[in-house]
Homo-oligomer: A and B are copies of this chain.
């Protein structure tokens, strides 16, 4: 499982030959809060996780997510302080801040379709800024939606690679924005810790009944 993914180049899909069954990874993924601080994740694994995240779908392929991979120890301590001292922020092997560029839809949209036939580009590229311009709520929805999708790619892939993870919103976003120098027109959607579990997750707190969350045809 430590074989590196091929570098993702535009239009060329990476391959990884073996791993954990998808359903098992989805079922076994749990939010783990206690990590082995002595474990060093191979850099190739961390990069593979990010490469996989970059294959997550986004509306109009606009790839509006921005991942901040926090490696510096002092920076991680500062972020822990802005997250009410939660040990996982520094104990996990990998700390990622999942951010998004709110202006992705209106900034050089031609880059999202550079490999498409010209006729396709001519149609789709102008649609993107039209759709997002002057609609800050839609821009923010898109940030959270794309971050959510990419976060599950990371968490399921991490599980398949033998790691655990935890999605976190429990931090002061203003303080963390200062620490990571978040640009204007960007937003932080969540933080993810990834590493080797020191303690397994507790049992699930309680699942809502299927019929309370799945509706047939209409509410």
Contact = CB atoms under 8 A, between A and B. Distances in A.
Interface size class of A (residues with CB under 8 A): 35 or more
Interface stretch (A34-42, A85-93, A198-206): A198-206
Given A24-B16, A141-B144, A156-B22, A206 B149 contact: no
B214 A67 contact: yes
A171 interface: no
Contacts of A216: 68-69, 71
B54 A27 contact: no
B54 A115 contact: no
A82 to B, nearest CB: 14
A182 B59 CA distance: 23
A23 B71 CA distance: 24
A75 interface: yes
Given A147-B148, A149-B149, A210-B54, A218 B157 contact: no
Contacts of A144: 141, 144-145, 148
A190 B149 CA distance: 12
A152 interface: yes
A213 interface: yes
Contacts of A189: 141, 145
A61 B167 CA distance: 11
Given A15-B27, A27-B15, A207-B63, A218 B149 contact: no
10 contacts: A8-B207, A11-B204, A14-B27, A54-B213, A57-B155, A59-B169, A63-B207, A140-B140, A148-B151, A149-B152
